[in-house]
Chain A
Amino acid sequence: MKRFSNLLKKEIKELVTKQLIISLAIFVILFQFMGRVSKKEVQKAVGVQTISALDLDGSAGSQALLKGLESARFKILDQSGKTKDEALEAAKSGESKLLLVIPSGFGESLTTLSPSEIETYSFMRSFSLIGTRSQIVVQSVIGALNEALSNSFLKEKLPDLDPQSLKRPIKSRDFVVVHNRVGEGSANNVAGMIMQQSMLIPIVLMMIVIYSSQMVISAMALEKQNKTLETLLTVPIKRTSIITAKMLASGFVGLISAGVYMFGYQGFLGGFGEEAARAGAQSGGSALMQKLGLTFSTTGYLVLGLALFLSILVALAIAMILGVLAEDFRSAQNMIMPLIFMVMIPYFISLFADINSMSLPLKIFILAIPFSHPFLVPQHLYLGNWGMIVGGLAYMLVVFVGLTIFAARVFSSDKILTMKLRFGKKKSAVA
């Protein structure tokens, strides 16, 4: 045990370098800063928006439209008395995001229900999504006014009928069924909420797997490059202890690095995330998710954690074998590529495709990649597919055990010194 802890300490010290600490600190500071900036921008976008309005009509109808906009948290800069060009120039040079022009005769056309046109000029000072938000809100206010005007017209002409029944004779109530639970709401919203809930999982997995694997491969490659491996292999410590110490240290440092990166990343996403969560709560989305059982229980989180942990172990075992093949630090950088692809394939598939609708050979291919399972666990948890969850976990465990036995055999044999994957000139292992 003393020998093992001696080696483990050395491995951790080797990985926790000043460069690593500085790069982590810079990343966190940078992303937290970016998060704060974007949060402020989001707050600005959802807060009071300044727009300019040129009311060329001055009727009760046009005043109602402007009042409607004010109640939708718009600060309106009145451009009355100006020509359209003057108003456009004034609005453009000010802080307004949009100029609304209400033509003369607008109020009358409303009362006669003849189509009336208003004009909006959006000032695109940036191409961000947030920058175009004001126009979307104006359009929704106009939509609401259209609805109110047509309702009042119908009520006046057909006082005995409900305007809603006239405009929409067919009504629908949408329900979502998940497993054996039913909740009222739209399937689109539910899918969106699930995406939001589990969007961090693939990112976390990607980062941890890539970080830890890179550390194991590099640790092995550095032992070879610095010519320390031969000495290490002749000291009185079991080869399995050497593997375990390297894997443990890399897993530990990889986990911490990924945690720090996630902290920084979450700070960056915070600005958007909080707003999205607020919107979800306002639309009753959270209650629907709760009703459908589409939230993680403690068991769910444990299962997800176990899946992530097993996938990290599998990645470390693969990385250890690839590290043996690497001749030096440079070739180690190439070695990591197959592993990254193995994580990227299920990551992109989980983003854009549904594994259940795939052909059988493709499904088998995806399921054979051990890293697919943690991506699929949230879906299976939501749908209660415990067979797939247990099967996936068992498969990852078997793969890990198999790879570890293989790695231990490689370490205990001549292959540790003779097995090499070269990207250049061949050299004999015999001296």
Chain B
Amino acid sequence: MPNVLTVRGLKKSYGQKTALAGIDFDVRAGEVFALIGPNGAGKTTTLRIIATLLTATEGEIRFLDRDHRKEPDFVRERISYLPDEAGAYKDMKGLDYLHFMAAFYAQTREQEKEYVDRAVAIAARRESGEPSELADRLSTKVGTYSKGMTRKLLLARALMTKPALAILDEPTSGLDIINALEVREVIRRYVKEGTSVLLSSHNMLEIEFMSDRVALIDEGRILDAGTPAELKAKHDARNLEEVFRSSLR
């Protein structure tokens, strides 16, 4: 499988403080690649750099074989980023928010409608086809939504354009078990349809369930990487939590 994203020697410092000490990884087309690690390990910094929010101090990133640093507009057209604790405009109605965001990506009115319809399908319907709690609420203001409803709306926004790379930071944070399961299934479905996903999560079970490959990151360095099965075998561990503990030793 060709790489959607290639990261080599990525470093990031804030003054004297080093957030990333030189990391390498690839995200292949149609896979879910996960970064796992404790708070302050460098996961969000990595995602923010790839999402063009921050600039790297050193290193090279290639996105769809183009220079990520030199062509930020090309990158932004083809990625979507769901930050941890992201919000939507509280005075906008859910549907208006989707239209507002879709208009940045769509070339035509028809395309905008197609994106919004797709987002509505994600936000307002469960994988079983039944309507979700957002179905009746898309025409009300975002400010009245619960945290879970907002998160689902934002996930719908992130996936509606079928981006080449979806960067998802803690995609199920704030969701209850049922909604978290739904979201994971939606993500898996979009991956099958061609979207690659780079995600970060504290939830090792979620990572194990969703990811094709995983990188363990701590203090700005990648400690180990591979499929969950490979890592578990290599570290003689029952789950990714044990893998992580073993790789820290």
User: Using an 8 Å CB-CB cutoff, how does the interface string of B82-119 with A read, 1 for contact, 0 for none?
Assistant: 11011111111000000011011100000000000000
User: Using an 8 Å CB-CB cutoff, how does the interface string of A224-244 with B read, 1 for contact, 0 for none?
Assistant: 001110110111111000000
| Contact A10 to B54, CB < 8 A, known contacts A226-B90, A228-B87, A236-B73 | no
Q: What's the dominant secondary structure at chain B's contact region?
A: mixed
In the complex, A227→B73 CA distance in Å?
Answer: 22
Q: Taking the nearest CB of chain A, how far is it from the CB of B156, in angstroms?
A: 13
Contact A234 B80 (CB under 8 A): yes
Contact B88 A234 (CB under 8 A): no
Q: Which residues of B contact A13 (CB under 8 A)?
A: 91
Q: Taking the nearest CB of chain B, how far is it from the CB of A328, in angstroms?
A: 12
Residue tally, chain B, CB below 8 Å to A: 37
Residue A3 lies at the interface, judged by CB distance under 8 Å to chain B = yes
Q: Which residues of A contact B43 (CB under 8 A)?
A: 431
In the complex, A67→B44 CA distance in Å?
Answer: 91
Chain B positions within 8 Å of A, measured between CB atoms, are 14, 17, 19, 39-40, 43-45, 48, 51-55, 73, 76-77, 79-83, 85-92, 100-101, 103-105, 154, 157
Q: Report 8 cross-chain contacts, Cβ distance below 8 Å, ordered by A residue.
A: A3-B103, A10-B92, A13-B91, A226-B89, A234-B76, A414-B54, A417-B53, A430-B40
Our pick among A2, A228, A431 for the contact of B39 (Cβ within 8 Å) is A431
| Contact A227 to B86, CB < 8 A, known contacts A429-B14, A431-B44 | yes
Our pick among B55, B82, B100 for the contact of A6 (Cβ within 8 Å) is B100
| Contact A431 to B40, CB < 8 A, known contacts A234-B52, A418-B14 | yes
| Contact A227 to B87, CB < 8 A, known contacts A10-B100, A430-B17 | yes
Q: Which residues of B contact A234 (CB under 8 A)?
A: 51-53, 76, 79-81
In the complex, A2→B100 CA distance in Å?
Answer: 11
Nearest 9 interchain pairs by C-beta:
A227-B87, A431-B44, A236-B76, A6-B103, A235-B104, A226-B87, A234-B81, A230-B83, A236-B77
Residue tally, chain A, CB below 8 Å to B: 26
Q: Which residues of A contact B85 (CB under 8 A)?
A: 227
Chain A positions within 8 Å of B, measured between CB atoms, are 2-3, 6, 10, 13-14, 17, 226-228, 230-231, 233-238, 413-414, 417-418, 428-431
Contact B45 A236 (CB under 8 A): no
Contact A431 B103 (CB under 8 A): no
Contact B103 A233 (CB under 8 A): no
Our pick among B45, B103, B154 for the contact of A430 (Cβ within 8 Å) is B45
Q: Please give me the residue from chain B that is nearest to A227 by CB atom.
A: B87
In the complex, A17→B90 CA distance in Å?
Answer: 12
Contact A417 B76 (CB under 8 A): no
Q: Which residues of B contact A414 (CB under 8 A)?
A: 53-55
Contact A14 B89 (CB under 8 A): yes
Q: Which residues of A contact B103 (CB under 8 A)?
A: 2-3, 6
In the complex, A2→B92 CA distance in Å?
Answer: 19
Sample of 6 further A-B pairs with CB below 8 A, known A430-B14, A430-B45: A230-B81, A235-B104, A236-B104, A417-B48, A429-B14, A430-B19
